[in-house]
Amino acid sequence: MIKLDNLRRRFPGQDKDALKGATFSVRDGEFVVIGGANGSGKSVLMHLIASLDKPTSGIVSCTDAEGRPARVGLVFQDADAQILGDTPLEDVSVGPKNLGFSRTEAAAIARGALARAGLEGKEGFPARSLSGGEKRRLAVAGILALDAPIIILDEPYANLDWPGVAQVNGIIRQLKNEGRTVIVLTHELEKVLALADRLMVLYQGEIVWDGEPREGLRSAPLEKWGIRNPLASYSGVQDLLWESGV
C-alpha cells in the first residue's frame, strides 16, 4: 500500500510548493493513472513516493501486504538516464544482481524480462544505440527483473509508436494481473485510461481530481488543467483556426 499524508515539497529558493499537501492511499493491486500537464508535479510526486527525494513536510510510506517496506520500481521519463550497462543483458542484470542473485541467475532473469518487454534478440546490442522506444522498453525490462510489488512509470509512452504503446499496456495488464500496484504518470490519457482503476489529476502541485476514470472523462474539466480529454472532439481547434483565418 502507498500512503501519503499531507505530503508537501517546496524547493529551496522557491516561493511556491511543487507539491501542495497531497493526502491519498493506493491499495495493493490498484492501477492508478495520474494525469497532469508539464510542470504539474508528477515527477516530484514520483521521486517522493520512491524515496529519491525528501518531503518538506508530511509522510509517505510504501508497504507490502504484511506491512513491511515495499520495493518501488521506477521507469523514468528520460530512458537514457536509466541505462546502467553496456548491453541490454548487462543493464537488466544489474537489478537482480543487487538483490543477491548469482551472475547466471541474474542473466536468466534478465533474458526473461527482455523477452517480455519485446527486446528478444537485442540482448548483446550496444544499449546506448537502441532507438528511443527500445530504450524505454529496456527501462521496463529493468523493473520487470526487479520483481517490485509497486511500479511507477513516468510518461511511459514518450517516443513509442503504436505497437510500442500496446506492448507497454500489455505489460501493465500483466503486472496488474500479478497483483502489483501500478501508477502511470502521463499527460496522454488516451493511451492508457481504458485500463485504469482510478484517475487522479495533478494541477500546479495539487491533486484536483481523484475518482473513477469514466466519471473523470465525463465531468472533470481536464482542459482547464492542461490535459486533453480523449473524448473531446477536434471541432474546438477547427473553430479556432477558422476564426483566426488559417
Ligand X SMILES: Nc1ncnc2c1ncn2[C@@H]1O[C@H](COP(=O)(O)OP(=O)(O)OP(=O)(O)O)[C@@H](O)[C@H]1O
Would you tell me which residues interact with ligand X (CB under 6 A)? 11, 14, 18, 36, 38-44, 77
Q: Which is nearer to ligand X, 110 or 220 (CB)?
A: 220
Least distance (Å) from ligand X to the CB of residue 123?
Answer: 30
Q: Which is nearer to ligand X, 96 or 205 (CB)?
A: 205
Least distance (Å) from ligand X to the CB of residue 138?
Answer: 20
Cβ–Cβ under 8 Å, residues 223 and 73:
no
Least distance (Å) from ligand X to the CB of residue 207?
Answer: 12
Q: Which is nearer to ligand X, 36 or 149 (CB)?
A: 36
Least distance (Å) from ligand X to the CB of residue 202?
Answer: 7
Least distance (Å) from ligand X to the CB of residue 158?
Answer: 9
| Distance between start and end Cα atoms, the chain | 51
Q: Which is nearer to ligand X, 44 or 113 (CB)?
A: 44
Q: Which is nearer to ligand X, 44 or 200 (CB)?
A: 44
